[in-house]
Every structure is written in C-alpha cells, then in structure tokens.
Amino acid sequence: MLDVYYYDSINELFEKYKNNKFYFASKKAPNSYHEVNYNKDDFLVFGKETAGLPENLLKKHINCTIRIPMVDEARSLNLANSAAVILYEALRQNKFSGFKLYNNI
C-alpha cells in the first residue's frame, strides 16, 4: 500500500518537488510540530535515530524545522514513535483524507 522511491540526494528530491513544503524533524527545532499547518502534499523529513538530520540542513531550513516537546530528563523519542506522532498530526489536520473512519459505537 506504499510506493517507494529512491533519490541520490535530498537536493534531487527538493528539485523534483520544488513546489511542495518540507518539514524537518529535530529536537533542536524552534517550532513545535503541532504549531504547523500541514497540507496534503507536504513532506516530513526525519534523520537517523542515532544522529538526526545534518546541522547544515536544519540551519538552512530553520523556519521549517519541527520538534516534539519533551521533558528535560528525556533525550528523545525513538524514530518510529516520532514519525507516528508528527504524521498523525498532519493527517488529523487534513481530516484523515483517504482514510476510512469507523464509528463502532
């Protein structure tokens, strides 16, 4: 239920989708993920669980960086949980377009 595409670089991806908005997840981001207005064709970009996204990429796109609020004692969520939290907020804002919503009550 997913089409997978491979690109040689993130710059190739940016060029192909130059009219789309990209959001970059980082614990260092100034914006909280829930403060963003997501559109259907936006991209959510996550880095490696061990290293995150490159610092130069984050600095270049600082206004489009997002974070999940954390307590001071926690380092971060794992990558799968982080992706799920942010993705479902984007889907919620877009009224779960393409999803079948059930009401079993």
Q: What is the pLDDT of residues 8-38, one digit of tens each?
A: 999 999 999 999 999 999 998 999 999 999 9
pTM value > 0.85: yes
pLDDT at 100: 82
98 DSSP β-pair partners:
none
Instruction: Give the CA distances from residue 55 to residues 50, 51, 62, 65, 79, in Å, rounded to whole numbers and listed in that order.
Output: 14, 10, 10, 11, 17
DSSP string, 15-26: HHTTTS-EEEE-
Give me the CATH code for the 18-93 domain, please.
3.40.1280.10
Contact 82, 25 (CB under 8 A): yes
d(CA 61, CA 87): 19
